[in-house]
């Protein structure tokens, strides 16, 4: 039903921007479940394009919008959302660096997020990247499909006894640390807010970043993107690392200086990199661009390296995670709109 025809005060209209088929499937299930069990109702419209000044007209008549990681919700967008009567921006993700939430707060718009969905999904994908890179599984797969069964160039190493540096020990980083500990690796931890229970559980310790850089055979990033963490891994950081280190990033692309990473790979400082995110991914990720040329020189270079595995922000992409994301997002909107309850607010 078009929003303009929906005059029921007990119905909240939500516009989902940057929607894919899987978003629609999981959110439709959750909205159907909500509507079956509540007298208040939710109504959804799905827009495949990202939120922008050109697509905002799709939100006229709505009371909330839902956006994803690559939707940019800046002051101009927020001002226009306010003009059409929208006071809720619901992020269906954990990160919120793409939203000017301080400005949103100043003009009375609530920004909600999904702080946790399935941390196991991202943690397991991180480990999958490491195993694939180390044992050259991606290269072996292509060889055998071409009837080539040579083992030349596929030599890996035992993870047992090696040192892993975990930067960020929230829910995801903690699970990765436990998995690495299960492999028999020595685990070093770094976080502004230390989880001593985790450290004790896996017989580990918190150290300074420089110690992570100088002692780790594998470094994995699980921290948010803030001004102080922007390009955390830059030339200076790479210079301090062991020769042949493996870099993993399933958090935020801006944590790594892409040009510095390329140079570190070329020099052999970085043996391999497993990336599920990229700083300028919003122009590429979640879309089929197979008939187009990659114009980003850093991305193009990364795609040429046979010791880099780049996945398109799919670490979260499991049934369990998508179910949890839909449930929490709908719960955030419904509780605020129907009961005035504020939860998972970005502030």
> In the CATH scheme, what architecture does the domain 3-117+319-339 have?
3-Layer(aba) Sandwich (3.40)
Q: Check whether 3 has a pLDDT greater than 70.
A: no
Per-residue model confidence (pLDDT) at position 8: 59
Q: Check whether 322 has a pLDDT greater than 60.
A: yes
Mean pLDDT of 260-272: 98
CA distance 189 to 208: 8
Coil, helix or strand at residue 86 = coil
Q: Check whether 188 has a pLDDT greater than 90.
A: yes
Q: Check whether 214 has a pLDDT greater than 80.
A: yes
* Length of the chain (residues): 347
Per-residue model confidence (pLDDT) at position 9: 65
Query: In CATH, what class is 119-310?
Result: alpha beta
Q: Check whether 193 has a pLDDT greater than 80.
A: yes
Banded pLDDT at 4 (limits 50, 70, 90): very low
**Contact call for residues 311 and 285 (beta carbons, < 8 A):** no
The CA–CA distances, whole Å, from 339 to 40, 43, 58, 324, 344 equal 10, 17, 26, 21, 15
Which residues have C-beta within 8 Å of that of residue 309, sequence separation ≥ 6? 129, 132, 133, 138, 272, 273, 274, 275
**Contact call for residues 12 and 338 (beta carbons, < 8 A):** yes
The tens digit of pLDDT for each residue in 41-82 reads 999 999 999 999 999 999 999 999 999 999 999 999 999 999
Active centre residues (catalytic): 252, 281, 313
Banded pLDDT at 7 (limits 50, 70, 90): very low
The tens digit of pLDDT for each residue in 155-172 reads 999 999 999 999 999 999
Mean pLDDT of 25-33: 97
**Contact call for residues 161 and 181 (beta carbons, < 8 A):** no
Per-residue model confidence (pLDDT) at position 95: 87
Mean pLDDT of 200-222: 98
Q: Check whether 177 has a pLDDT greater than 80.
A: yes
CA distance 341 to 345: 10
Helix (H) or strand (E) segment spanning residue 337 = helix 319-339
Burial of 139 (0-12, 13-18, 19+ CB in 10 A): middle
Banded pLDDT at 149 (limits 50, 70, 90): very high
Residue 288 CA to its chain's centroid (Å): 19
Angle at 317 between CA 27 and CA 52, to 5 degrees: 60
Per-residue model confidence (pLDDT) at position 116: 84
Q: Check whether 1 has a pLDDT greater than 80.
A: no
Mean pLDDT of 107-135: 96
The CA–CA distances, whole Å, from 212 to 3, 166, 241, 264, 300 equal 53, 8, 8, 17, 29
Domain with CATH 3.40.50.720 in the chain: 3-117+319-339, 119-310
Per-residue model confidence (pLDDT) at position 183: 98
Mean pLDDT for all residues in the chain: 96
Per-residue model confidence (pLDDT) at position 5: 42
């Amino acid at each position: 039903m078009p929003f303009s025809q929906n005059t029921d005060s007990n119905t909240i209209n939500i516009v989902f921007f940057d929607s894919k088929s899987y978003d629609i499937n999981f959110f439709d299930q959750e909205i159907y479940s909500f509507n079956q069990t509540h007298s208040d109702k939710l109504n959804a419209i799905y827009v495949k394009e990202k939120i922008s000044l050109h697509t905002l007209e799709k939100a006229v008549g709505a009371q909330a919008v839902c956006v994803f990681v690559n939707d940019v919700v800046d002051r101009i967008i927020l001002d226009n959302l306010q003009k059409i009567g929208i006071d809720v921006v619901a992020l269906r993700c954990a990160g919120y660096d793409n939203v000017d939430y301080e400005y949103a707060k100043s003009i009375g718009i609530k920004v909600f997020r999904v702080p946790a969905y399935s941390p196991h999904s991202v943690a397991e994908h991180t480990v999958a990247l490491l195993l694939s890179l180390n044992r050259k599984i991606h290269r072996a797969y292509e060889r055998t499909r071409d009837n080539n069964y040579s083992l030349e160039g596929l030599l890996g190493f035992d993870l047992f006894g090696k040192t892993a540096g975990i930067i960020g020990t929230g829910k995801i980083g903690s699970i990765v640390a436990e998995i690495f500990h299960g492999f028999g690796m020595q685990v070093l931890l770094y976080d502004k807010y230390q989880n001593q229970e985790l450290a004790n559980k896996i017989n580990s310790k918190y150290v300074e970043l420089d110690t992570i850089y100088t002692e780790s055979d594998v470094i994995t990033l699980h921290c948010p993107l803030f001004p102080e963490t922007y390009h955390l891994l830059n030339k200076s950081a790479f210079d301090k690392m062991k020769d042949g280190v493996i870099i993993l990033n399933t958090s935020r692309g801006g944590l790594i200086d892409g040009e510095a990473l390329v140079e570190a790979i070329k020099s052999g400082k970085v043996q391999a990199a497993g990336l599920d995110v990229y700083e300028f991914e919003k122009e590429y990720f979640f879309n089929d661009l197979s008939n187009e040329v990659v114009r980003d020189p850093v991305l193009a270079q990364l795609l040429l390296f046979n010791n880099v595995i780049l996945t398109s922000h799919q670490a979260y992409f499991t049934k369990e995670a998508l179910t949890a994301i839909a449930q929490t997002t709908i719960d955030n909107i419904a509780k605020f709109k129907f009961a005035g309850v504020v939860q998972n607010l970005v502030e």
